[in-house]
Structure 1
Amino acid sequence: MTPQPPPGQPGLPAGPADEELFRDALHRTAGTLPPLPDLVPDAVREGQSRRSRNRGLAVAGTFVAVTAVTLASPCWDPWCDRHPTPSPPRLPAPP
């Protein structure tokens, strides 16, 4: 069901002549404006630089993590203690 316009107001459906008038006015108004710039190449370039920057940061972070684990692993190894606990002194043998 389509809504009816209030009494005293013109109806909403426009004829072909009204559409032509509207399109003609639109073309006259917008015809003097310059064309819009193409933003796609800039967006593609920015996306590629963002991706490469993220990949570089991921590689650098992985390198730092692996280096830290490699350099810190001797401190974690209980079998490779650099400072062993001293053993108690030996008593002299009985005569």
Structure 2
Amino acid sequence: MTGVFQKDIVDSLRCLVGQTVTIYTTSGGCSGSGFTGVLIYADDCVVKLISRIGTPPSCSLGSACCPPGPAPYRPYGCEPFVGLGSVTIIPIARIASFVQNAIG
């Protein structure tokens, strides 16, 4: 990737922080299908996408309404924390293209 093209990509992506984008890379396999997520960071080396948002705690009060123990002893609707989410980090040098939502 040439330096001018790389700078243009970075400048464009910095303007899209907080928006949903799909980034296609120059790699093969599943990653060739692109990565979709909310762009949270872009610098001259990498971009970061939140590609899966984690589950919130089921009770903002913590263990007060969700005591530990096996499921039969927990109150109805009190589910354990099951997902941390995921962040995708993509090197700028590997970006082939990106797609953004049309802005009205």
TM-score bucket (shorter structure): under 0.3
The structure where helix makes up a greater share of residues is 1
The structure where strand makes up a greater share of residues is 2
For the pair shown, the structure with the greater C-alpha radius of gyration is: 1
| TM-score normalized with structure 2 length | 0.22
